[in-house]
Amino acid sequence: MTEVNFESYAPPAPLRDDVAAEYQKVWDALDASADEESAAAGVECWDALRRQLGTWMSLAQIRFHQDTQNDVYRKNRDYADQLQPYLTDLDVQTKRRLLDSPFREGLERRFGHQAFALWRCDVASFEPVLADDLVRQAGLVAEYTELIAGARFEFRGRTQTLSDMAKYAEYPGRAVRHEAATLRWNWFNEHVDEIDQLFDSLVGLRQSMAEKMGHKTFTSLGYEWMHRLDYGAEDVDSFRAQVREHVVPLAMEIRRRQGERLGIEPLMQWDEAIQDLSGNPRPQGDHDWMLERAAEMFADVGQGMDDFFQLMRRQRLLDLKSRPNKASGGFCDMLPSLGMPFIFANFNGAKHDVEVFTHEIGHAFQAYSSRDLALIDYHFPTYEACEIHSMGLEFLTWPSMERFFGDDADRFRRLHLTDSLLFIPYGTAVDHFQHLVYANPTASPAERAEMWQEMERLYLPTLKWGDLAFPASGRRWQAQPHIFGSPFYYIDYVLALTCALQLWDSAQTNRAETLKRYVALCQLGGSQSFKQLVDAAGLANPFEAGCLPRVVSRAEQSL
């Protein structure tokens, strides 16, 4: 594949009529197949088409996230949002043909059972009657993204974005932390009606889509959209109970010790992000310096990761700096036509930058390792498996942390592990909240706020908001983009962390073998289901009784 410069990469937008004609060709080929061989050729033709379309669709979203106020990018994103349900419909029609194909058995052997399982799920969860709703849903999510990206703060002599403001949570001076938190939540308070209204529309829309598809509530449809093939809401429910039983008490103990170390009683929300009086370790240089250290880190890891990172840099596939109008958050997406992933982040100079970096490179390396798998469906696995590659690499790069943090590397590692444990209750609360929201689709914004408060009582019992009246009123979740854009995407982080911590544990004693297992897992991509992938990587499945307590107790011992 030829290398490109991503910054100037601009393939033409696909036109509806051309797309329709291309799909017709695929269908004609499939319908006319006289044997497995010719049907397989039809599948390959379809896959090539999807790679080309998928590249443009990803690019439209990436560019919009890079500059949410650029008119061309906004127009393209809007067009992509309009086109998406149309493409989904064409794909579903193709998938239906393949599920019903007389050569299915042979095709399944050739391309893998997992694709057929995913397609069954897609066929069951989409009808053309959803198309307009899906366009509206994408529009509402984009509205939220734009709103958040447009937030500006005059703070410490500079105009700052929400991503910039996040770093003050780790500022050593307590008054600065408090002031930054106050400003941040004041902004959300000023936009509360808008955000409440947006979310209310999203919930209503999702409920109505669920009803159109014959579901009682959105939860079961949401699970299908997430491709949860080998576990259901009951499994997640009992996993959450394990978190409450085994992790919440541990997190409370960690907070108690933290307050003691800091000499702060009681520990307030704006103190939570710092673990000791010397302040959190920070990477010892700027963005360009970080890229150099990252190159060294990936050379330390080996396994082809160093060459891969250089390839990403050469093709300008990293957009890491925070700037005005850039969307918040971080993500990795695949550009199948280039055979390369793209990484988006918002560096702000805090230690989190290093974690985001290794996290997204984990996703990227997996996608790259899977680029030649037979089907585009396998470029990424389902999300809970995806997050094993990302969170796993955060831990597997531990021995290189001196490069970023110097003498503070040990403190960084301890903090990383502590934060990981503390994340489990929060991540689970976000998941539990979403289940409550979609089980009660007609709840009012005030009732949703009460649901969130209940989550804080269950999962974050030591949390104290003090005079931050707005988040205290049950609206912290409004700063969590997944709740708006990717329903039910959150427990995935907790499930994956339960697996990533096992990689961390095994790397302590057998690093070389663990790295090999990690790379092999990346190469499997999405060719298997979550439980199968976990099994193939020699990891215990998080739903198994005893898995979660065993994993967290290993981490606790190490702390």
Between CA 448 and CA 247 the distance in angstroms is 25
Residue closest to 200 by CA, chosen among 432, 431, 427, 446: 446
CB nearer to Zn ion: pick between 390 and 502: 390
Element (H, E) at 208: helix 192-212
Considering only residues 141 to 200 of the shown chain, the ones binding Zn ion according to CB under 5 A are: none
What SS3 class is residue 318? strand
Residue 347: phi and psi, rounded to 5, are -65, 140
Cα dihedral sign, 243-248-253-256: positive
CB of 304 to Zn ion, least distance (A): 21
CB of 248 to Zn ion, least distance (A): 24
Q: Which residue is nearest to Zn ion (CB)?
A: 390
Between CA 246 and CA 237 the distance in angstroms is 14
The length of the chain in residues reads 559
CB nearer to Zn ion: pick between 219 and 390: 390
Residue closest to 181 by CA, chosen among 276, 268, 280: 268
Residue closest to 350 by CA, chosen among 90, 171, 224, 147: 171
Are 121 and 229 spatial neighbours (Cβ–Cβ below 8 Å)? yes
Between CA 537 and CA 99 the distance in angstroms is 29
CB of 316 to Zn ion, least distance (A): 21
CB of 166 to Zn ion, least distance (A): 17
CB nearer to Zn ion: pick between 160 and 328: 328
Options 9-17, 227-235, 346-354, 382-390: segment touching Zn ion (CB under 5 A): 382-390
CB of 308 to Zn ion, least distance (A): 17
Considering only residues 277 to 316 of the shown chain, the ones binding Zn ion according to CB under 5 A are: none
Are 405 and 281 spatial neighbours (Cβ–Cβ below 8 Å)? yes
Options 78-86, 137-145, 214-222, 387-395: segment touching Zn ion (CB under 5 A): 387-395
Spatial CB neighbours of 460, under 8 Å, sequence gap ≥ 6? 251, 425, 426, 429
Q: What is the 3-state secondary structure (H, E, C) of 101-157?
A: CCCHHHHHHHHCHHHHHHHHHHHHHCCHHHHHHHHHHHHHHHHHHHHHHCCCEEECC
CB of 362 to Zn ion, least distance (A): 8
Options 77-85, 123-131, 389-397, 434-442: segment touching Zn ion (CB under 5 A): 389-397
Options 30-38, 118-126, 386-394, 407-415: segment touching Zn ion (CB under 5 A): 386-394
CB of 517 to Zn ion, least distance (A): 19
Considering only residues 101 to 130 of the shown chain, the ones binding Zn ion according to CB under 5 A are: none
**Count of residues that interact with Zn ion, criterion CB under 5 A:** 1
Residue 366 binds to Zn ion (criterion: CB under 5 A): no
CB nearer to Zn ion: pick between 338 and 496: 496
Options 236-244, 277-285, 388-396, 499-507: segment touching Zn ion (CB under 5 A): 388-396
3-state helix, strand, coil in the chain (%, to 5): 70, 5, 25
CB of 509 to Zn ion, least distance (A): 26
CB nearer to Zn ion: pick between 382 and 390: 390
Radius of gyration of the chain (CA): 23
Q: Which of 369, 390, 462, 528 binds Zn ion (CB under 5 A)?
A: 390
CB of 331 to Zn ion, least distance (A): 7
Q: Which residues pair with 160 in a beta bridge?
A: 153
CB nearer to Zn ion: pick between 346 and 390: 390
Tokens of 46: 């379809």
Q: What angle do CA 379, 381, 383 make, to 5 degrees?
A: 125
CB nearer to Zn ion: pick between 218 and 490: 490
CB of 387 to Zn ion, least distance (A): 5
Sheet of strand 331-335: strand arrangement: 318-321, 340-347, 331-335
CB nearer to Zn ion: pick between 390 and 400: 390
CB nearer to Zn ion: pick between 408 and 492: 492
CB nearer to Zn ion: pick between 119 and 378: 378
CB of 363 to Zn ion, least distance (A): 6
Options 169-177, 301-309, 385-393, 462-470: segment touching Zn ion (CB under 5 A): 385-393
CB nearer to Zn ion: pick between 390 and 462: 390
Options 100-108, 120-128, 176-184, 384-392: segment touching Zn ion (CB under 5 A): 384-392
Interacting residue ranges for Zn ion, rule: CB under 5 A? 390
